A and B are shown apart, each in its own frame.
Chain A
């Protein structure tokens, strides 16, 4: 018995010793971790490498325009759908993908982390005719260097079940004002991502002008706290936080949620299957009166891409007038390509979605990565890390 105990003890010590040795080994290697970008910007698009793997939002990579691309270029496309920007960043950091349709709250992080490379826009012929107000924006151009090709843009929607929510809401107060929201207690649907704090900030910008919120992504201590508290008050009324589009679709279809924030994609899916839903889409010419958060997406190329030629061909393909029109109509967003407006099946599409109406987009606050640098000289804004921590405490 005694010898057995002695053996066990020895084994335990051996394991601990091994563990320590490995730790030392890694600690030694830790500092040599290089963060340099490979910076192999293409000079010329060559022959395709035969395959292409993408990280994208649901509805961006669909057979209708992927099949012709594969036939034309020989690049076999595989798509990985991500539900949130955080997920996109994580997936891109694995280095297994060639490109990503990044929103503004992911692009800065990807550039800073060296996960994506600059894009030589001269190699993307269709870039020239992209709407001017989408070019050289803070979420796709860093220090004057282009990091991607704009894909399309849209506003986040307020969706409701027309049978249960009457009268039709015209303001976010239906889900954010504690008293009004209580009417739909347990049936409210909210986006499960720290960036949702910006929705509260957009609401406060309109309803509490004394907070002096300018950008919903650049919030100081006081403004941030107000937004977080608003969401903490909303928490008991929320039936479900959604992060996958499929989750929200099933919640609205099953009657678990009747009102909440959504994307065009879910709205179209539900409408297509005959559910009694309405939304405040750009297509109906109206935003909730406070304005809305929104997205402007950019195709970016991974710094570890093994198929850069295919990726450049894809970036050109997706903003080709006909294809960009197809994508925009499928997803329900404003196309980035100005020539796409002549190619849409619905000839009024671009007017409905305000594609060439810069005034409309002034009230849409595209997702951005919150940084400590407020953009107005002071550096006391809450950074994304604070947003994540706050989001955890909001959900409890």
Chain B
């Protein structure tokens, strides 16, 4: 039996590859793209107002609600804005750390830093958000530290969401930038200096252009993760994100929840297209 099977594949490279890929591709198409397709279809269904049952027919009702009710535009705008702010903050924070790790630190220092960055990822997401909740509360450590200067912390709200998200997703920005900077040969930096460029010029003309695709790659993580999160906004603010509204609607109005779930997908597709233009995928 096994010999027959071996003979079957002998000298047929296409069949070999096909058999090898059937599993993963099948999973991708059915499990992953399939669920997306169901989501897409469900978005055009509607809910019968009297019985509350899902009506499986083509209807644009959900999209009309999304478009006509100003509250959903506010929520989408707020989600995208915070995602953008978190991404920018993380890029600014991550670059120097990644640069230090890649170009300055000793081997030992590098290892310590990598562990330090990965360490928060080992603890539960919820624990971290609750820890921030405690720190930002009225009697928390942030207010306590700012009090001697006559200041007070941001409290719970959009600022808190921005802070917590920036903290949560920072490692996802540092690691790609670190990998990108590692790949830049030191000789290029030396050459730039030999040719008389100031450190700032070297950074602007040599390092940044070469590392930029890595920054964009990292930004995809931070942007997408913020866009999809709904627990942090719920715990440290009263603001609703797209995810919160999806969560609220999922049990009684699945079609509307599906329609809303398409919004982050569309936003992400647009974002990825821009990222592609910026060269984020050139070295993958």
Interface residues of A (CB under 8 A from B): 15, 18-19, 22-23, 26-27, 30-31, 86, 89-90, 93, 109, 112, 186, 192, 194, 238-241, 243, 247, 250-251, 254-256, 372-373, 379, 383-385, 388-389, 391-393, 395-396
In the complex, the answer to whether B238 meets A90 with C-beta atoms within 8 Å is no
In the complex, the answer to whether B137 meets A396 with C-beta atoms within 8 Å is no
Given A241-B238, A254-B140: A388 in contact with B37 (beta carbons within 8 A):
no
Q: Give B33-61 as 1s and 0s: 1 = Cβ < 8 Å from A's Cβ atoms.
A: 11011101100000101111000100000
In the complex, the answer to whether A109 meets B134 with C-beta atoms within 8 Å is no
Give chain B interface residues in 14-30, CB to chain A under 8 Å. 29-30
In the complex, the answer to whether B50 meets A372 with C-beta atoms within 8 Å is yes
The one of A90, A93, A250 in contact with B137, judged by C-beta atoms closer than 8 angstroms, is A250
List chain A residues, Cβ under 8 A from B50.
Answer: 372-373, 379, 383
Binding stretch for chain A, among B117-125, B220-228, B247-255: B247-255
The one of B37, B69, B72, B134 in contact with A250, judged by C-beta atoms closer than 8 angstroms, is B134
In the complex, the answer to whether B234 meets A372 with C-beta atoms within 8 Å is no
Does B240 belong to the interface (CB within 8 Å)? yes
Given A23-B37, A26-B41: A391 in contact with B248 (beta carbons within 8 A):
yes
In the complex, the answer to whether B240 meets A392 with C-beta atoms within 8 Å is yes
In the complex, the answer to whether B49 meets A385 with C-beta atoms within 8 Å is yes
Q: Which A-chain residue is minimally distant from B245 (CB atoms)? A: A392
List chain B residues, Cβ under 8 A from A391.
Answer: 248
In the complex, the answer to whether B252 meets A385 with C-beta atoms within 8 Å is yes
In the complex, the answer to whether A86 meets B248 with C-beta atoms within 8 Å is yes
In the complex, the answer to whether B30 meets A385 with C-beta atoms within 8 Å is no
In the complex, the answer to whether B248 meets A392 with C-beta atoms within 8 Å is yes
In the complex, the answer to whether B37 meets A194 with C-beta atoms within 8 Å is no
In the complex, the answer to whether A238 meets B29 with C-beta atoms within 8 Å is no
List chain A residues, Cβ under 8 A from B52.
Answer: 109, 112, 383-385
List chain B residues, Cβ under 8 A from A194.
Answer: 248
In the assembly, what is the distance between CA of A11 and CA of B36, in Å? 18
The number of chain B residues with a CB under 8 A from chain A is: 41
Known: A18-B29, A255-B139, A383-B49. 20 other contacts (CB 8 A): A26-B41, A86-B248, A86-B251, A89-B251, A109-B252, A112-B52, A186-B155, A239-B156, A240-B238, A241-B238, A250-B130, A254-B139, A385-B52, A385-B253, A388-B249, A388-B252, A388-B253, A392-B245, A396-B71, A396-B240
In the assembly, what is the distance between CA of A372 and CA of B248, in Å? 19
Q: Can you identify 16 A-B contacts, CB atoms within 8 angstroms?
A: A18-B33, A19-B36, A22-B33, A27-B41, A109-B52, A250-B133, A254-B137, A254-B140, A255-B137, A256-B138, A372-B50, A385-B47, A385-B252, A391-B248, A392-B75, A395-B240
Does B235 belong to the interface (CB within 8 Å)? yes
In the assembly, what is the distance between CA of A83 and CA of B51, in Å? 26
In the complex, the answer to whether B33 meets A86 with C-beta atoms within 8 Å is no
Interface residues of B (CB under 8 A from A): 29-30, 33-34, 36-38, 40-41, 47, 49-52, 56, 65, 69, 71-72, 74-75, 130, 133-134, 137-140, 155-156, 234-235, 238, 240, 245, 248-253
Question: Which 8 A/B pairs are nearest by Cβ-Cβ distance?
Answer: A254-B137, A255-B138, A393-B71, A89-B251, A23-B37, A22-B34, A90-B251, A256-B138
In the complex, the answer to whether B134 meets A26 with C-beta atoms within 8 Å is no
List chain A residues, Cβ under 8 A from B47.
Answer: 385
List chain A residues, Cβ under 8 A from B134.
Answer: 250, 254
In the complex, the answer to whether A19 meets B69 with C-beta atoms within 8 Å is no
Q: Taking the nearest CB of chain A, how far is it from the CB of B125, in angstroms?
A: 15
In the complex, the answer to whether B33 meets A93 with C-beta atoms within 8 Å is no
In the complex, the answer to whether A15 meets B33 with C-beta atoms within 8 Å is yes
In the assembly, what is the distance between CA of A250 and CA of B140, in Å? 11
Given A254-B134, A254-B137, A388-B248: A26 in contact with B238 (beta carbons within 8 A):
no
Given A86-B248, A372-B49: A26 in contact with B138 (beta carbons within 8 A):
no
List chain B residues, Cβ under 8 A from A239.
Answer: 156
Q: Which A-chain residue is minimally distant from B78 (CB atoms)? A: A396
List chain B residues, Cβ under 8 A from A238.
Answer: 238
In the complex, the answer to whether B133 meets A392 with C-beta atoms within 8 Å is no
Given A22-B29, A86-B248, A254-B139: A395 in contact with B238 (beta carbons within 8 A):
yes
List chain A residues, Cβ under 8 A from B137.
Answer: 250-251, 254-256
Q: Which B-chain residue is minimally distant from A21 (CB atoms)? A: B29
In the assembly, what is the distance between CA of A31 and CA of B45, in Å? 12
In the assembly, what is the distance between CA of A93 and CA of B251, in Å? 8
In the assembly, what is the distance between CA of A251 and CA of B237, in Å? 12
Q: Taking the nearest CB of chain B, how far is it from the CB of A168, in angstroms?
A: 22
Most buried by A among B139, B240, B248, B253: B248
Given A22-B34, A392-B245: A30 in contact with B56 (beta carbons within 8 A):
yes
In the assembly, what is the distance between CA of A244 and CA of B225, in Å? 23
List chain A residues, Cβ under 8 A from B75.
Answer: 392, 396
List chain B residues, Cβ under 8 A from A241.
Answer: 238
Q: Which B-chain residue is minimally distant from A386 (CB atoms)? A: B49
Q: Taking the nearest CB of chain B, how far is it from the CB of A239, in angstroms?
A: 7
The one of B34, B133, B139, B248 in contact with A26, judged by C-beta atoms closer than 8 angstroms, is B34
Q: Taking the nearest CB of chain B, how far is it from the CB of A35, in angstroms?
A: 8
Given A385-B47, A385-B52: A26 in contact with B156 (beta carbons within 8 A):
no
The one of B30, B37, B155 in contact with A256, judged by C-beta atoms closer than 8 angstroms, is B155
In the complex, the answer to whether B40 meets A396 with C-beta atoms within 8 Å is no
List chain A residues, Cβ under 8 A from B65.
Answer: 389
Given A240-B238, A243-B234, A254-B138: A109 in contact with B248 (beta carbons within 8 A):
no
Q: Taking the nearest CB of chain B, how far is it from the CB of A142, in angstroms?
A: 14
Q: Taking the nearest CB of chain A, how far is it from the CB of B232, in angstroms?
A: 12
List chain A residues, Cβ under 8 A from B71.
Answer: 392-393, 396
List chain B residues, Cβ under 8 A from A23.
Answer: 37, 40-41
List chain B residues, Cβ under 8 A from A186.
Answer: 155
List chain A residues, Cβ under 8 A from B155.
Answer: 186, 256
In the complex, the answer to whether B33 meets A19 with C-beta atoms within 8 Å is yes
In the assembly, what is the distance between CA of A22 and CA of B32, in Å? 11
In the assembly, what is the distance between CA of A240 and CA of B52, in Å? 31
In the complex, the answer to whether A396 meets B74 with C-beta atoms within 8 Å is yes
List chain A residues, Cβ under 8 A from B133.
Answer: 247, 250
The one of B34, B56, B252 in contact with A384, judged by C-beta atoms closer than 8 angstroms, is B252
